[in-house]
A and B are shown apart, each in its own frame.
Chain A
Amino acid sequence: MINPIEYKPLQSTKLMREAYCETLISAAEKDERIVVLDADLIGSSGMKPFFKKFPERAIQCGIAEANMLGVAAGLSLTGKIPFAHSFAPFVTRRACDQLFVSGAYAKLNIRVLGSDPGITAAYNGGTHMPFEDMAILRAIPDITLLEPCDPTAVSELTRQLAEDGLYGIYYIRMARKNSAAIYTEGEKFTIGKGKILSEGNDVTLFASGIMVTEALSAAAILASEGISARVVDLFTWKPADAELIKESAAKTRAFVTCENHNIYGGLGSAIAEVTARNCPVPIEFVGVEDRFGQVGQESYLRGEYALTAEHIVSAAKKAIARKA
């Protein structure tokens, strides 16, 4: 458990994409069914070491994401465990129907890695900046949605997807160049269960991905003002951890949801759906207010889209003020 008063953002020695690649190499050494597909972005996904080590099981698909996901579906039919990557907008917006029909509706077994979510697309700008990828996939049954916040979480979740006999469509939203260190090696993760990072009574801050460090920093600021915030890493967006959401509502009676995504259809919506049905409490949404992306440094974009710790702090105060 992190004491917010003492919280300092830490950096890992590796990037998320390095953790992903290392884990898949280790899994592929043990299991011949693991195959990796990419759409002319191996240089970005960090999977060059895998392609070098397992050339037969590393499938370059060219700039053709729709075909890539269809090929992944076919590989799954032959018992392989495919991991397919492209930038998040291209494996969700562009190849949505393939993931729907050839993947989820056909009840096949595919892992999809979407990199550079939201503002982490930075210099690639609005065409590459997905604030909608999770919302698109959240409306499709049988797709599990994950957004890990650090390389340790990436390693452990990837290991589970490769080795634990899980079946279905899994989408991992990953800021490939992120190296924030939230967890220490050996941390356990259960898909569908959130992680309480910091305990508090006045408000719960739900976050995932790059918003976790912002939420922890916000908790530190709130603590200095005498407000105690629970911080939850809700790395599984679907299925959302209803038990933890209900328990947090009972304990803190106010929520702030923090997402590097459009507030329509994302993490906040998922939490609000559980809350409205079971345990109505005030919710403030920190996220992108239904806008397109744009080019810029990540730090600039954080301010532009109101995704900073300071924005979370003021949202928390608003939520607390709205308590009945």
Chain B
Amino acid sequence: MNSQQLKEFARDIRVTTLEAFKTPLFGHIGGAMSICDVLAVLYGSVMRCDPKNPQWAERDKLVLSKGHAGPALYAALCLKGYFPREMLTELNQGGGHLPSHVDRTKTPGIDMTAGSLGQGLSAACGIALGDRLSGFDSRTYCIVGDGELNEGQNWEAIMFAAQYKLGNLTLFVDNNKIQLDGYTNDVMSLGNLKQKLEASGWSVVQIDGHDVAAISDAIKATSGQLPGAVILDTVKGKGVDFVEAAAPNNHHLTFTLAQLDDAIAALNA
């Protein structure tokens, strides 16, 4: 996809996520909206994967460590053809395929289970190492939230990836600067994240996380001998006015059908 097509794909992921939210009328909408652009780039042009064969061993893999943003990933996977559109109504429904937090045993195309924050990057390291041992040229991508980086396990994994020179691993930090209880700088500041990752032996760029062309370039720029990190400066709730306006209390919201319809109309305008 070219940049224009990626922008349209990102818009469609947002719209489809909002459609999915029409069933429960509540959910982690802020952190779902902030990652739609990186998901568009990954599934629109970067990742080597096959919706008809989700378990293909040599595919590129994505670990969505901030598992509560599952609805956005479900939308991307649905648009890619991993599962039928009707399944979107199962979001958060008992016995359904789309739990609030991503689960590899429930949803076609989900590569790893996540939800208890801070665990995904370790699994992504294991996948990258395993694929390298198998002689595959596959890449592993991992998306963490900035608030999630409070969890110490991430920093164990950051050291591990550098020690094993996991050049086939790219970490995206959804740097929307807000966590559940408020602004990240007020709850638990990350300090200078770019410098911290660089000092840990990673190749790092920091960009506008809603600029699909910049995201594509950043992935290329950080794919080398060292593990790569792309800090995505994002807006929590991006593209949905009532969610952006609720910041910093927009981690988990309840909403009405009319609010969702208005947001969809605005995105499609």
Contact = CB atoms under 8 A, between A and B. Distances in A.
Nearest to A63: B156
Interface string B135-168: 0000000000000000011001101100110000
A62 B163 CA distance: 10
Contact of B122 (A32, A59, A98): A98
Contacts of B119: 66, 70, 97-98, 101-102
Contacts of A98: 119, 122, 153
Contacts of B127: 74-75, 77-78
Tell me if B's interface is mostly helix, strand, loop or mixed: helix
Given A78-B57, A102-B113, A106-B104, A67 B129 contact: no
A78 B127 CA distance: 6
B163 A101 contact: no
Interface in B157-191: 157, 159-160, 163-164
B103 to A, nearest CB: 8
A106 B105 contact: yes
Nearest to B61: A77
Interface in B97-130: 103-105, 111-116, 119-130
A64 B160 contact: yes
Nearest to A105: B113
Contact of B130 (A74, A101, A105): A74
Nearest to A76: B126
B156 A66 contact: yes
Contact of A74 (B57, B122, B159): B122
A102 B133 CA distance: 21
Given A62-B159, A77-B130, A79-B57, A101 B115 contact: yes
Contacts of A80: 130, 133
What interface size band does chain A fall in?
20 to 34
B134 interface: yes
A59 B153 contact: no
Nearest to B124: A74
Given A75-B129, A78-B134, A102-B122, A64 B156 contact: yes
Main secondary structure of the interface of A (DSSP, over half): helix
A97 B120 CA distance: 12
Interface in A44-98: 56-57, 59, 61-62, 64, 66-80, 82, 97-98
A61 B125 CA distance: 11
Given A98-B153, A102-B113, A106-B112, A70 B123 contact: yes
Given A57-B133, A66-B153, A79-B57, A74 B123 contact: yes
A68 B163 CA distance: 13
Nearest to A72: B126
Contact of B160 (A32, A61, A97, A105): A61
Contacts of A66: 119, 122, 152-153, 156
B122 A70 contact: yes
B12 interface: no
A107 interface: yes
Contacts of A68: 122
A62 B130 CA distance: 18
B126 A75 contact: yes
A77 B163 CA distance: 21
A61 B105 CA distance: 27
A70 B57 contact: no
A145 interface: no
A212 interface: no
Contacts of B122: 66-71, 73-74, 98, 102
Contacts of B130: 35, 74-75, 77-80
B131 interface: yes
Interface of B: 57, 61, 63, 103-105, 111-116, 119-131, 133-134, 152-153, 156-157, 159-160, 163-164
